[in-house]
C-alpha cells in the first residue's frame, strides 16, 4: 500500500537533489527515480554527475544534471532556473551536499575549514534562500534537509563540521516558524547517524587520521528512503532509525562521557595510524569512487544483529539510569 501511495504522489514531480553524485545523495536520486520523478542532480564534479544521471535514467527517470557549487549563490540560482525550465516547477528540494574535515582543529588548514562552512552551512542557506520564494509563488513545495545527528551532538575532532550542523539545525528551525502560516510549504529535517557511504572515503583527514566506516553505520539507501518519505509526508524533524535516536539520547544523558570517550578513541587512531594529510573533497569535487557505498572496517552485520545490539544498548542505558536514581 505504501509503495502505491508513493508512486501516486511522486510520479511526474520535480525534485532537486544536491550532492547527488555519490553516497546518500546518489541513493536519494535513485530512490526518487524509481517512482517516476523528474530528477535534477546537482554536484560539483561533472564525471560523478554523468554516472549518477546514467543510473537514474536506467531506472526510467527524466534526468537533468547541473554542475553546481552550492557555496556560490549565483550557481544555486542557475541550478534553480534550470530546474524550473526542466520540470515547470520544483516540488521538492533535497539539501544534501556536504563536506567534512577531521583532525586537530589547529592542524586543519584554515582554507579547508572555511570551505566546510561555505559548503555545509552557507550552501544550505543559499539553497533555502533561492527556493523558498519559488515555493511561496507556487503556493507549495517541500524543502528537506539532510542534517545529521551532528546537529545535536559534536563529532569528535571535527569542530568546524559540528559547528555547521548545529548552525543548519538552528537556521532551519527558525525558518520552520517563518513558513508556519503557509499550509502547503514545509521544511523538514532528517537527523541520521554516520553512513556506510562514500562520504568518509571522500572526507578530508588531518593529524594522522585514517579510518573506515564502523560496522554499525546506517545503510545510505535506508536514509535516502527516509528523505523521500519526508518529502511526501512532511514532518518537521525526524530520526530515520532507532540507532540515530539512541546515539542522540545517550549523548543527552551523558554528554561529557560520550564526547570524551569518542575523542579518546580518535586520539588513539591518530597515534596508531599516523597517515599523511588528505584534503579529500573539501576544496575540489569528489574523486573516484562515484557510488553509494564506502569501505567499512569489517563486514556489515545483519539487520537482526544491529537491532539486537541496539536493544542491548537501550537496556544498558536503562540500567545506568536506574543505578543513578538509586544512588
> Which SS3 state, helix, strand or coil, does residue 301 take?
coil
* Cell 556489515 -> residue: 300
What is the grid cell recorded at 107? 592542524
Tally of CA atoms within 13 A in the half-sphere of 305 that contains its CB: 8
DSSP letter for each residue of 133-191? HHHHHHT-EEEEEE--GGGTSPPTT-HHHHHHHHHHHHHHHHHHHHTTT-TTEEEEEE-
**CB contact burial 167-179 (16+ within 10 A = b; e otherwise):** bbbebbeebbeeb
**Is 161 considered catalytic here?**
yes
- The set of residues, in sequence order, having a beta carbon less than 8 Å from that of 183 and lying 6+ positions away, is none
* Cell 539486537 -> residue: 308
**CB contact burial 283-297 (16+ within 10 A = b; e otherwise):** bebbeeebbbbbebe
Measure the CA–CA gap between 277 and 112, rounded to whole angstroms. 12
Measure the CA–CA gap between 250 and 1, rounded to whole angstroms. 35
How many residues appear in the chain?
Answer: 327
Catalytic residue among 92, 124, 157, 161: 161
Nearest alpha carbon to residue 230 among 48, 10, 42: 10
Q: Which residues are catalytic?
A: 161
Amino acid at each position: 500500500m505504501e509503495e502505491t501511495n508513493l508512486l501516486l504522489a511522486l510520479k511526474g514531480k520535480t525534485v532537486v537533489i544536491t550532492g547527488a553524485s555519490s553516497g546518500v545523495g546518489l541513493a536519494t536520486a535513485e530512490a526518487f527515480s524509481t517512482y517516476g520523478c523528474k530528477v535534477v542532480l546537482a554536484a560539483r564534479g561533472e564525471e560523478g554527475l554523468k554516472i549518477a544521471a546514467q543510473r537514474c535514467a536506467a531506472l526510467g527517470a527524466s534526468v537533468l544534471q547541473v554542475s553546481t557549487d552550492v557555496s556560490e549563490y549565483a550557481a544555486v540560482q542557475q541550478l534553480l532556473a534550470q530546474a524550473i525550465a526542466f520540470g515547470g516547477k520544483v516540488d521538492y528540494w533535497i539539501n544534501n551536499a556536504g563536506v567534512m574535515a577531521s583532525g586537530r582543529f589547529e592542524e586543519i588548514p584554515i582554507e579547508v575549514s572555511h570551505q566546510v562552512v561555505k559548503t555545509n552551512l552557507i550552501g544550505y542557506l543559499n539553497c533555502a534562500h533561492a527556493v523558498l520564494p519559488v515555493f511561496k509563488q507556487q503556493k507549495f513545495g517541500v524543502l528537506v534537509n539532510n542534517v545529521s545527528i551532528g546537529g545535536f551532538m559534536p563529532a569528535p575532532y571535527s569542530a568546524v563540521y559540528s559547528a555547521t550542523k548545529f548552525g543548519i539545525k538552528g537556521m532551519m528551525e527558525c525558518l520552520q516558524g517563518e513558513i508556519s502560516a503557509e499550509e502547503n510549504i514545509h521544511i523538514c529535517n532528517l537527523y541520521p547517524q554516520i553512513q556506510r557511504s562514500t562520504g568518509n572515503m571522500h572526507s578530508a583527514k588531518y593529524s594522522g587520521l585514517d579510518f573506515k566506516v564502523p560496522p554499525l553505520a546506517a545503510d545510505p539507501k535506508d536514509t535516502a528512503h527516509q528523505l523521500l518519505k519526508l518529502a511526501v509526508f512532511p514532518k518537521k524533524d525526524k530520526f530515520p532509525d532507532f540507532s540515530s535516536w539512541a546515539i542522540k539520547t545517550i549523548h543527552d544523558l551523558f554528554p561529557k562521557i560520550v564526547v570524551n570517550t569518542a575523542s579518546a578513541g580518535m586520539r588513539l587512531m591518530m597515534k596508531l595510524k599516523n597517515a599523511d594529510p588528505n584534503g579529500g573533497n573539501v576544496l575540489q569535487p569528489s574523486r573516484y569512487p562515484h557510488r553509494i557505498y564506502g569501505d567499512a572496517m569489517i563486514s556489515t552485520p545483519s539487520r537482526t544483529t544491529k537491532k539486537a545490539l541496539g536493544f542491548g544498548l537501550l537496556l544498558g542505558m536503562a540500567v545506568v539510569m536506574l543505578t543513578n536514581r538509586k544512588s
